[in-house]
Amino acid sequence: MLKRLVFAAAILVGSCASSSSPAPRPHAQAPNIVFIVADDLGYGDLSAYGGTRTPTPHIDALAARGVRFTNGYVTSAVCAPSRASLLSGRYQQRFGYEFNPVRRDLEGVGIPQDVRILPDFLRERGYRTALIGKWHLGRTAETHPLSHGYDRFFGFSPGATGYMLAPAEDDEWLPDPVPGAPQGFFAMRLEEGRGPATPREGYLTDILTDEAIAFVDSSRGAPFFLTLAYNAPHSPLQATSPYLQRVAHIEGQSERIYAAMLLALDDNVGRFVSALQARGLLQNTLIVFISDNGCPNYIGPGVCSNAPFRGFKAMYLEGGVRVPMIASWPGRLPEGAVYDAPIVSFDWTRSALALAGAEPVAQTLDGVDIIPMLVSGAAPPERAIVWRTGPNYALRRGDWKLIVAERTDGQGLLTYLFNLRDDPAETRNVAHDHPEIVRRLTADFETWNAQMRTPTFESERRLSAPLNRGDPPVNLYN
């Protein structure tokens, strides 16, 4: 499983003596840490992961300089809970953040005040911290990013916004969403600090990169932690004419716009990385690129891709929770390596805390420090990876994955068991063939579940579909 990484790591250790030394600490030369978070980006959307419709050379180059993960998971199949876990280093269920706060974030739903997240700890270690882009973890003063350790915030608080300025009768702060706005016509709504940003012209993906580079320039002399949270390629589907011209050959309006959005995302990742290199910062910067969940099916069939997996955003199938994940740190991580062992988004939180010497004492963390394992080629200790939304849950341990989902007719639960080694597309339910494995994984879930809180708010959305052909519909996300 790890031969490709072990080979690359051996080359690195032989050519760079520092790769076997302890990770740098702030009292020496603290590394900069950057999380680049794409929004609803599918596993099969990137050419580095086998996508063929839209080349993504800059993100591919990031993988070529670092490690590409083939079993990288997030802890939720929808945006906000996934982000809550990534930033806290914990299962979001530990503090009751189980659902997307659809129309609830203005009521105070968000990261609780007593939950400290990554920028809180890093700022105490002398880091300058910024969130550029999407927050989606609260829209009140108490749940604002500036109340959770970020020194700077430029972006937007709700779950989605438009990419371009839209004609408006006046300059009033537009509601969320724009009343009556069809897909593709949400106006761009930006915030800076705790209020509206000065109106900007341009394409939002470009604007966020400009702001990220400006933050890097303002941080000279101090280590920085940057969450560069693009909303691309989340709906609404909007792209500029230059990018649309580059994909004019693609048939289908939605497919063409989505491809243009991917090109813009890829170009801007490349522009940001080039800015780090031009400033001499790339060698001392850990970059983690990740999507918050799989791409959605509601933007239209065939518009995006989670191939080779089945399922989409909001589903426990691999297409909803296994995401593109890349890490790059020239001279410290292997180059051009592929890591096949399962890891979870919150492992990066634990790794960042370890790099900064900021391990929390009074707050449970669920991740492991992955960086020493990447250097040595070792796999993380075997563990269960768990997902829960209401009565529905899923769990992976080793090659086995259990999904339990309630039937929409109210007639109980349906149980699915898949062997991901033999059936990565999850097409064959073998629960009846392996009742002992179902029992073991169910016990794992019950042990995990006993440690978690009940949700602190409810979901307003239910997504139903048959999981296997011929099955009755089940609630895949509650």
pLDDT tens digits along 1-34? 343 553 333 323 232 323 333 333 443 479 999 9
Q: What is the pLDDT of residue 221?
A: 86
Q: Are residues 242 and 312 in the same domain?
A: yes
Residue 421 sits in which domain range? 385-477
Q: What is the pLDDT of residue 88?
A: 96
Q: What is the pLDDT of residue 372?
A: 96
Q: What is the tally of structural domains in the chain?
A: 2
Q: Are residues 134 and 259 in the same domain?
A: yes
CATH number of the domain that residue 75 is part of? 3.40.720.10
Q: What is the pLDDT of residue 220?
A: 86
Last residue of a domain, one of 376, 403, 434: 376
Q: Are residues 113 and 246 in the same domain?
A: yes
Q: Are residues 291 and 390 in the same domain?
A: no
Q: Are residues 336 and 399 in the same domain?
A: no
Q: Are residues 370 and 460 in the same domain?
A: no
Q: Are residues 91 and 190 in the same domain?
A: yes
Q: Are residues 470 and 351 in the same domain?
A: no
Pairing of strands 343-344, 128-134: unpaired
Last residue of a domain, one of 337, 356, 376: 376
Question: Are residues 145 and 135 in contact, defined by beta-carbon separation less than 8 angstroms?
Answer: yes
Q: What is the pLDDT of residue 2?
A: 41
Rg of the Cα atoms in the chain: 21
Q: What is the pLDDT of residue 20?
A: 34
Last residue of a domain, one of 313, 346, 376: 376
Neighbours of 28 (CB within 10 A): 10
List all residues 6 or more positions away from 108 whose beta carbon is below 8 Å from its beta carbon.
138, 140, 142, 143
User: Which residues in the chain land under pLDDT 70?
Assistant: 1-28, 166-185, 361, 460-465, 475-478
